[in-house]
Structure 1
Amino acid sequence: MDLTNHPILTVLLCFGAYLAGSVLFAIPVCRAWHLPDPRALGSGNPGATNVYRAGGWKPALTTLVLDAFKGWLPVWLAHLAGMSILVQAMVALCAVTGHMIPVFFRFKGGKGVATALGAGLALAPLTTLIMACVWAVIMWRWRISALASLVAIGCGPIISAILEPNTLPLFGLLTLLIVVRHRNNLIRLAQGRETGL
């Protein structure tokens, strides 16, 4: 059977990616480290930055890796099944959307940056690694996670258009989703009120 054009498998992969994305690892990680709920800290975002504020780099790194993995795994499975780039991109978007609007947490989730990182590494590794380097440089210079994330994701469509043009639609949509999720951060950045680490 040719799996590459199998609609049922496509639906299952997308649904599975959404469910995987809906697992907000920041919450169980904080519980394991006996830390406060990350949703009650800083911006209220259940992600690695707030986990870092609560407990330092070890639980934050654990959260980052797990949130990235849940984005990487479904896309890798779609690739393993021989699905098209379009289907892999759909799976990636479902994983990121799951993190942003998680069914397990009353549809109140995070910003999706780490999950997008994992999905991007599976689908467009070169583009994603360059974006990660951009994030690291901005973070090193200004120590503001939201600023680093917005600059890095904003560079995504440009980098992908040059290096991996078949993934440009994915990075365009990811940029739109993540910028919308950072709208409050954008307001605080404009007002000079955004806090760093």
Structure 2
Amino acid sequence: MDVANQPLLLIAICALAYLAGSILFAIPICRLSGLTDPRVLGSRNPGATNVYRSGGPLPAALTLLLDALKGALPVWLAQTFGFSVFAQAMVALCAVTGHMVPLWYRFQGGKGVATALGCGLVLAPLTTILLALIWLLIVWRWRISALASIIALGSGPVISALLEPDTLPMFGLLAIVIVIRHRNNLIRLAQGRESRF
């Protein structure tokens, strides 16, 4: 579907994506489980890695799943309505932006990696699966989530250009915003102070 034909529908889906992205599932999961608030652990990021530090693999896996779903569902909705890949990428970026600057948490959010994962699995599954494998390999070798995220998402533009070139603009923008979002982690990595699993 051409964006020009249904601009209000696309705006509505983008708004829904942002609002869904603004739900930081790490926080209610930790509260309901009686765990330490993830915003005071490690990198102080409300994401699956800090939930893992607080409560282990099960709450972390649930956080990862829900943070991915809030990215996947709006993109799937845009796909269902027949919007172009470009329009779906806009929806994906709105969901990731919601996680990074959430309305519900005074615009103080997380890094957006899990939400980007969910968006990518719907929009560009081959590229995203390969990036996830890169992430797992880096974590297995160095046990540093931030390093894995930076390398994996930083590889996104090259891999998407080779496998799913229509999605290159989305992965290019995701690489930029997620690397910028990890700027403090980059400083700690350079200083050898970045937290490990």
**Alpha-carbon distance in structure 2 between the residues aligned to 1:155 and 1:86:** 20
- Runs (5+) with no aligned partner, structure 1: none
CA deviation string 1:46-66 (max 9, x = no partner): 000000000000000000000
Contact in 1 for aligned 2:69/2:115 (Cα 8 Å): yes
Q: Which amino acid aligns with 1:147?
A: L
Displacement after TM superposition at 1:31 (Å)? 1.1
1:170-185 mapped onto 2 (5 Å cutoff): 170-185=170-185
In the other structure, the counterpart of 1:63 is 63
Deviations 1:49-99 (A, max 9, x none): 000000000000000000000000000000000011111000000000000
Q: How does 1:47-86 map to 2 (within 5 A)?
A: 47-86=47-86
Residue aligned with 1:27, SS: helix
Show the counterpart of 1:136: 136
- Give runs of aligned pairs for residues 11-26 of structure 1, distance below 5 A: 11-26=11-26
User: Matched residue pairs, number?
Assistant: 196
2:93 aligned partner: 93
- The 1-side partners of 2:172 and 2:147 are apart by 18
Q: CA deviation at 1:114?
A: 0.1
- CA distance in 2 between counterparts of 1:61 and 1:29 reads 11
Once the two structures are superposed, residues 13-41 of structure 1 have per-residue CA deviations (whole angstroms, 9 ceiling, x without a partner) of: 00000000000000011012110111111
User: Conserved in 2, the CA contact under 8 Å of 1:150 and 1:179?
Assistant: yes
In 2, Cα distance between equivalents of 1:128 and 1:152:
9
2:189 counterpart of 1:186: no
Task: Answer yes or no: is the 8 Å Cα contact 1:3–1:9 preserved in 2.
Answer: no
- The residue identity in structure 2 corresponding to 1:79 is Q
Q: What is the CA–CA distance in structure 2 between the aligned matches of 1:117 and 1:186, rounded to whole Å?
A: 21
Displacement of 1:3 in angstroms is: 7.8
Partners of 2:87 and 2:39 lie apart in 1 by: 32
User: After the TM superposition, which of the residue ranges 28-37 and 110-119 deviates more from structure 2?
Assistant: 28-37
SS of the counterpart of 2:43? coil
TM-score, normalised to structure 1, is: 0.98
Report percent identity of matched pairs: 67
Q: Quote the Cα distance in structure 2 between the aligned partners of 1:37 and 1:54.
A: 8
- TM-score with structure 2 length normalisation? 0.98
